[in-house]
Each structure stands twice: as structure tokens, then as C-alpha cells.
Amino acid sequence: MILLYHNIIPDPTPPWPWYIKQARPLPLSFFKRHINWLSAHFQIVSLSEYLTNIRVPTSRREKTVSITFDDCTSITFRCAFSVLAEQRVPATFFVTTCHLEHGELLWFSYLNALCFGDLYDSITIDNRVFDLHTPRQRVQARRALGALARASGSPINFSRELARVYPFSQSTKAFYEGMTYNQLHTAGESDFIEIGAHTLTHPFLSQQTKSAQAIELIKSKQILAELTSNTVRYFAYPSGDYNHDTLELVKTAGYEAGFAVNPKNLGTDPRFEIDRTGIYSTSLLKLHMKALGVTRFARRFGFQVG
């Protein structure tokens, strides 16, 4: 079982700054509880070891888990690394890199900050007003803006246009920024942390031309390899979105494996459509269910475990 985390935040930071279902944050204390529970009940191995042993008998493989992170904000790395380092727990961080070159927030992080950062009372887009007075209004606005960003065909340009009208202070940016150069250097020197690629700008790859996808996959790989002084072997599809062109490009770019959430089974090589199980709840019961594969079974009958 490969587990997927997104945002880990300090205690007692309220969870609303990233209040979206697919990337709901875990306070640091709960993440530590997760790692302690997993360490007591499973063997936590690196992604490379997990993939090497993927063909071992099922009864042995069921007691093995690997931990991954997508998007990787600076706060998430700082919090998660503090826990992982205590027990030298291996993990793979899939990093999006455009913020390193341009100093801007990832497009979805910008939308999170815009809706939950207490900077504006409302947002107006094409004469449509989104109020931000209550938690419910903020969640509704974030969902609507996310849908508009995807429909635009270029979420990063959508967010850049908004940022011209609704800018942020440096302190707000710092709360949502991606991994720093120093953190990537730290990860590169670690013998239990591996860095994987997650594109330059976190687009919906299936909306991109093949040449645009190639730039996202190849350049991000090069940047991360240079900053960590390590080979970047693995790639995670942003938002789990990809198409046939993506699969071809991941192979030709030299990645050894590609990771989704719910694989589309578009290709013939399972190494490039490996499934992961998202962890979005503080509940140990839900973690237990997911680690045992209950959610995979539940999906067959239309049930979801958050």
C-alpha cells in the first residue's frame, strides 16, 4: 500500500487555510500519531524498496507501506521532516517547481490563500461576487474558483490574473509557499527522503499539448536533479490527471515509475499507473481501514472513505 499525504500543518494552526477535501491538512500531532501507528503495525519502506518487492506474495506485501507527499509546501516539509527524522522513516516528496524560479505561489495555493487568508471580504470575477465572510462561503468560493481555473484551460494563468487584482503580503505568501532551496538541499542530503517530480506548474496534463506536457515533465526533473544532486526517478501526476501522451512522455523522460491516485489503466505498463491511497483524515480508524485496503473494496460499491 502506498499512502498519499498532502498538507501537514503546525499545532494549533486551524485547518481552514487549506479546507478542500482532496488536500485537507493534518495537524502535526495527528501526523505523528499516524506515523507511530503505522510503524507499530506495518513495515514502512522507501518507494524504491516497495516497488522492488511489488511481486512478492500478497500476504507479505500487505504488511508493507510506503509514504508519499504531493505538492509539498514549505510548512508541510518542515513539519513532516521533523517527525520522519525522529525514526528515520523513509518517504518520497513529489515537488512542483515553478515557485523556485518565479517566486509565485502554486495556482491552487494562491486560491487557498485568497479564499482562506483573511485578506479580502469578497472576490469579483466577471461580475460574479464571491463573499468570504463565513467558513461556508469561503469553501464555496474555493470550490467555484477551482472549477473556473480548470475550465480556463490554464489554471496558472487564471491565478496570475487574479493575483494582479488581489495581491498578497510576503507573510501570507510564506504561509503557503512551496519547498525552499534549503529544504530541497536537505532532502537531497538525506538517506531516507527522496524527491520526485510533480511538474513545473501543476497543470491538468490532459488539457495540455504533448509539447507543453514534455516541458512540464522534463524541466521539472532537471531542476530537481540539479538542486538535490540526485537522480529524479519518480513522477506523480498532478490531480491524478494524465492521458496517453503523458504516459509516453514519462517513459521517454527517463522516469522509472509514474504515480496516480485512481489509475485510468490507459497503458500496457503498470509501472506508470501505480495507485496510491489518499489520507485526508486525522482518524486512526480511517487510516487503519485505508492501510488494509478497505477503501479499494468500498469503491467497487460506490462508497467513499474520507
Convert the pLDDT of each residue in 73-111 to its tens digit.
999 999 999 999 999 999 999 999 988 877 889 999 999
| Residue 54 CA to its chain's centroid (Å) | 23
Residue type, 154: S
Q: pLDDT, tens digit, for every residue of 295-305?
A: 665 555 555 55
Q: Give the least confident one: 1-5, 13-17, 113-117, 197-201.
A: 13-17
Biggest CA–CA distance in the chain, Å, is 59
What percentage of the chain carries pLDDT values higher than 70? 89
* pLDDT for 23: 59
Predicted confidence (pLDDT) at residue 59 exceeds the cutoff of 50: no
Q: What pTM was computed for the model?
A: 0.91
- Tell which phi-psi region holds residue 178, choosing left (phi > 0), alpha (psi between -120 and 50) or beta: beta
Residue of 209, 262, 216 whose CA lies nearest to 235: 216
What integer is the mean pLDDT of 190-197? 96
What are phi and psi for residue 79, nearest 5 degrees? -70, -50
* pLDDT for 225: 97
What are phi and psi for residue 67, nearest 5 degrees? -110, 130
* pLDDT for 164: 94
Residue type, 255: Y
Predicted confidence (pLDDT) at residue 200 exceeds the cutoff of 60: yes
Q: pLDDT, tens digit, for every residue of 60-70?
A: 556 899 999 99
**How many Cα atoms within 13 Å fall on the side-chain side of residue 254?**
9
Torsion of CA 106, 144, 148, 112, to 10 degrees: -10
* CA angle (234, 42, 232) in 5-degree steps: 10
Interatomic CA distance for residues 282 and 4, integer angstroms: 14
List 130's β-bridge partners, or say none.
123
What are phi and psi for residue 115, nearest 5 degrees? -85, -30
Q: Cell match 531516507: residue? A: 192
Query: 274 and 256 in contact (C-beta within 8 Å)?
Result: no
Q: Any idea which architecture 2-102+177-299 has in CATH?
A: Alpha-Beta Barrel (3.20)
**How many Cα atoms within 13 Å fall on the side-chain side of residue 32?**
14
The average confidence (pLDDT) of the chain is 88
* pLDDT for 116: 85
Residue of 168, 115, 167, 121 whose CA lies nearest to 141: 115
Taken in order 92, 93, 97, 103, the sign of the CA dihedral is: negative
For the chain, domain boundaries:
2-102+177-299, 107-174
Q: Residue 287 CB: number of other CB atoms within 10 A? A: 20
* pLDDT for 304: 55
Q: Give the least confident one: 38-42, 171-175, 189-193.
A: 171-175
| Residue 183 CA to its chain's centroid (Å) | 16
Cell numbers linked to 290: 485505508
- The 8-class DSSP code of residue 116 comes to H
Segment holding 130, helix H or strand E? strand 128-131
Interatomic CA distance for residues 159 and 150, integer angstroms: 11
What integer is the mean pLDDT of 241-248? 97
